[in-house]
Each structure stands twice: as structure tokens, then as C-alpha cells.
Structure 1
Amino acid sequence: MSSEYDVLKDAHRFLRDDTSEQPRSWAEHVARNYESGLFREFAVCDLKHFKSGNLALRWRTEDEVLSGAGQDTCGNTRCKRHSAEAGSRKRPELKTLELPFAYTERDEQFSALVKVVLCESCCRKLMWKRNHDKAQAATLDDVNHHPSDESRASSRLHISHRPPGRDARSASPRRRDDSSRHRRRPSRSPRRRDTHQD
């Protein structure tokens, strides 16, 4: 025999069409009764797995609405600024975000825009995966497709294979040992030519 909680877990919908007809089964009736007590203006979230890009959302309960949790305080249930007591000392700067939330119910994909109120540090957690992926893509893009990297690599090879004694300012190679082996021939220009012969 299943408990009421198990029945509720099976029949619950994150968003239920209000125009549909009356509940057909007891399980659907229990789920609709529970859902009628939820307030769907703002959701509260759990950012435990923010590095993988996954988050859990649920609607606020009546107690949370009355205390202002998730609207006047941070909507992350794991944040120290989530409880109303923490919010009464010094109110943190909060941001209202509208998130595209994709989820699966009964092997069907759904998506909805959900409003969440988060503090600055929880906003950074929420955007961490996206920013991390962008930074990695930019780094890979720079390494793989940056045209100056290839020219730098080829110039490094050219410099490293330059024969010893090559002057970096001139393109012609100079050999250090050439001066001892070969004597420089006299110039054959008319100015330097000797006029008398021996």
C-alpha cells in the first residue's frame, strides 16, 4: 500500500493546466489539493549542484510567502540569506531573475519561465556553469584558431634553427671561421684598382 506522499509524488505537476476538467482519480485530487496551497509568483531553488549546471526548483509554501522567504530574502534554500531572520539584520542586495526552466515529467519534456530572487553570490553560482563553459570555449578557440600562433611557432622554429654566427639584423650568414681560411679578394672596382703593374 502506498502512502499519501508516494501518491502525491506520482501525481504532482510543476505546472498544471488550470482549464482541465475535474480530477479523475484520488491521486490527482490529492495532487491538486496540495498544488492549490502553493504560490506560483516566485520559486525557491537549490543550487547544490551549480557546477554541473543543475538546479532544483519548487514553488513557495504559504509559510514562506508569509515570512517573505524567496521574495524578500534569497531564494536559494542553501544560502545563509534565505531565512527571514538573516534578512532582518541587513538586507542583502537581491536580484529578480526570470529563468528558462526545462524539466521532465512522465517522460515528457516541458519548459517554463520561472521567477527567482537571488543574492549576488547565488547569482554567480547560478551563472557559474555558463560562464565557465564560455571561458573554456574562448580558450580553446584562441589556441586552435588564432592565426598569429602559427606564425609565432614557425618563427620560433626559424630562430632556433639559425646557424651559429648568423646576424639577426642581416639576412646573409656570417661565419666566424671564414676569416682565417679565406682571404678577402681585392675589390675590382675602378677606384681601388692599381694602375701600375709589377
Structure 2
Amino acid sequence: MVDRIDFSKVPKDRSYDYDSAFESDIEAFEKRKLLSDLLPEKKQREKVSSKRLLEDELIKEEGKIHRFHAVALDAYSRHKEYVNNYMLFYGGSKTDFKRDTSQDKNDLDVVRENHRFLWDDEDDTNLTWEKRLAKKYWDKLFKEYCIADLSRYKENKIGMRWRIEKEVVDGKGQFTCGNKRCSESEGLRSWEVNFGYIEQGVKKNALIKLRLCPDCSYKLNYHHRRKEVTPKKGSKTSKNSSLSSSKKKRRRDLDDPDDSPGSSQTASKPDEVTEGTSQGSHAEKEHSEEAIWKQPVKLVEDKSREDEFDDYFADMFL
């Protein structure tokens, strides 16, 4: 059976007419709005963020945590942690982090490579920093006497180098034997050697001085004799002899004040003695005594400090 329709519940408003032929668009819109207001509103769902945005936010948070942890460590601990993380994620061994030190050079290696026995008068601005370093070291050397290496003297091969400050203070090469392996200080002799050497592929010569003991002098002159340097004592001996003769003369004048022309004449005639000889001799004696006091004081000249040093270093500084 067909269900019965209760028309009493239908609103009696004219706008709800069964016939829609005469409805306008406005009336239809109002009708739909009225019906829609009767239904409960649906809750709007929030939009889900994209995966890229989530990754960016995660990276920011991880970076903050990592920076906070890294700042709390010292430099060495932070370096070790970075190295361990690298090996953990990328693999490898600790030998991969060791630097190749085969080409490393320190200051001593640079000086050895660019050292010269004698430097020319060159402008330092045109030199490289290695050559400037070697020349600065060379300027600090003492180039009066040399130190020799006579270990291969039988092969006629002798090594020479200048002295350093410590050797000058100790007297090595001047007051002791200039051989590298000898410390003899007696009977030293000075030699002038024409030292020939090859430097940077160029053959050079230098005239140097050596102080050697007798045994080392034999080694130096094993193949041919070098020139020995001897002190020139001619001028000094003549000067000393003149000084000594003048001193002797002054002393003789002081010791024999009566040796005057008047006294010599009286001594030449001893037979002519008269009664006034005693008075004349007495007068001459007084005259000679007065003459002594009238003469300038004759002081004995002692050697000065410079003369004493010259005598001491006569055989050393040639």
C-alpha cells in the first residue's frame, strides 16, 4: 500500500509551491540556502604539510643541536670528532689523513741548499727569500780564520768553512788548532792556502788563513807545501832597540853626573895639581848638582797596554 502523506506538515508559504515553472532564480537560491542552514556544517580538515617542508625543518633543528655540541668542545676534540665521523660515514684509514712530508724543508735545509763560501756584493732586493736567508746566516759568520776538515788529506781533498760565534769565543781556529778534530794549542803555525772549490757548478778560488798544529800542518802540506805566514818583526825590533838605547843613555847620564867637559879636562891632566884643586873640585861638584836639579825629570818609560797586547798577539794576528 501507498503511504499516506500528511499535507498538514507542509508549510503554507507560497514560495514552497509544487510547481517550479514560475520560480525565479532568486527564489530558488533562497530555498537552497534555507535547506542548507538546516544541516550541520562539516568540519574543515587542515592541509597536510609537504615532505620537503618537513625535511627543511628537521635540518634546522639538527643544525642547532650540532652547533651547540660543537661549541662546547675545544678545537682538538672537535677535529677528532670530525675525523671519526668522516671515517664512520665514508670509510678509510688514518693513514689517509697523513700529509706527505717528503718535500718539506726547514730553515737549515734552505741554508744548506743556498749557502755560498763567499757572497758577491749583490742587491738583496733581487734575491729570493731562500738566498736572503742564506746570506743573513753568512753575515753572522766570522771570516778571519777557517776551520778545516783534514780527514781526506791523502786524497788532496780538504774541507773549509768559516767559524761560528761559539768557536770564536772558545778560540777554536786561532788559539787552538784549526783542524775540525784536533784541539792542540801548542806550536801553532799560520798558513795561507789558496782554497779552490766548486760552487753551483762554477769553480772558484779564495785565499784563506789557517792555524794548525805541527801534525795537522804535515797533513795540510802532504801533497805540496803551502805558504807559511810569519810575523814581520824587523820594524818592531828596530823600534824596541832604539827605545832601549835611549833608556840606557838616560840611565847612564843619571848614574854619572860628573861626566862633563870640565871634568874630562881635569882628568886628562892629573899632574897639574895646585893648591886650589880641592876648591875647584868642590865648586864643580856643586855646579854639577845644581845642573841635575835644573834638568827635566827623566822618567823611565814603561810599556803601554797596547804594546803589551801587541807583544802577546804578535804571532797570532798575521
Sort the TM-score into its range (normalised by shorter chain). Answer: 0.5 to 0.7
Give the match for residue 103 of structure 1: 197
**Is 1:128–2:237 an aligned residue pair?**
no
| CA deviation map 1:43-101 (0-9, x unaligned) | 010100011111110000011111111001100011242xxxxx4xxxx1111111000
Q: Which amino acid aligns with 2:224?
A: R
Q: Which has the larger radius of gyration?
A: 2
Give the match for residue 168 of structure 2: 65
From 135, 138, 159, give the equivalent of 1:56. Answer: 159
**Is 1:6–2:96 an aligned residue pair?**
no
Greater share of helix: 2
Deviation of the 1:128 alpha carbon: 1.3
Deviation of the 1:130 alpha carbon: 2.9
**Is 1:21–2:123 an aligned residue pair?**
yes
- Tell me how far apart the structure 2 counterparts of residues 104 and 3 of structure 1 sit (CA, whole Å): 25
Give the match for residue 46 of structure 1: 149
Matches within 5 A, 1:79-158: 79-81=182-184, 87=185, 92-130=186-224
Deviation of the 1:118 alpha carbon: 0.3
Deviation of the 1:110 alpha carbon: 0.2
Does the aligned pair in 1 maintain the 2:176–2:183 contact within 8 Å? no
Partner SS, residue 128 of structure 1? coil
Greater share of strand: 1
- Tell me how far apart the structure 2 counterparts of residues 77 and 37 of structure 1 sit (CA, whole Å): 20
- Tell me how far apart the structure 1 counterparts of residues 133 and 112 of structure 2 sit (CA, whole Å): 10
Give the match for residue 180 of structure 1: none
- Tell me how far apart the structure 1 counterparts of residues 183 and 145 of structure 2 sit (CA, whole Å): 19
- Tell me how far apart the structure 2 counterparts of residues 22 and 29 of structure 1 sit (CA, whole Å): 7
- Tell me how far apart the structure 2 counterparts of residues 80 and 16 of structure 1 sit (CA, whole Å): 30
Q: Which amino acid aligns with 1:96?
A: S
Give the gaps of 5 or more residues in structure 2.
Answer: 1-103, 226-318
- Tell me how far apart the structure 2 counterparts of residues 57 and 41 of structure 1 sit (CA, whole Å): 13
| CA deviation map 1:18-37 (0-9, x unaligned) | x2101521101110111111
Give the gaps of 5 or more residues in structure 1.
Answer: 82-86, 132-198
- Tell me how far apart the structure 1 counterparts of residues 183 and 128 of structure 2 sit (CA, whole Å): 41
Q: Which amino acid aligns with 1:58?
A: R
Q: Which amino acid aligns with 1:6?
A: D
Q: Which amino acid aligns with 1:130?
A: H
- Tell me how far apart the structure 2 counterparts of residues 6 and 79 of structure 1 sit (CA, whole Å): 28
CA RMSD of aligned residues (A): 1.3
Deviation of the 1:7 alpha carbon: 1.1
Give the match for residue 34 of structure 1: 137
- Tell me how far apart the structure 2 counterparts of residues 106 and 70 of structure 1 sit (CA, whole Å): 27
- Tell me how far apart the structure 2 counterparts of residues 54 and 32 of structure 1 sit (CA, whole Å): 26
Structure 1's consecutive aligned runs of 4 or more residues displaced over 2 angstroms after TM superposition are: none
Aligned positions, number = 121
Does the aligned pair in 1 maintain the 2:142–2:163 contact within 8 Å? yes
Q: Which amino acid aligns with 2:203?
A: Q
Question: TM-score normalized by structure 1?
Answer: 0.58
Q: Which amino acid aligns with 1:126?
A: L
Percentage of matched positions with identical amino acids: 36
- Tell me how far apart the structure 1 counterparts of residues 137 and 161 of structure 2 sit (CA, whole Å): 13
- Tell me how far apart the structure 1 counterparts of residues 123 and 171 of structure 2 sit (CA, whole Å): 33
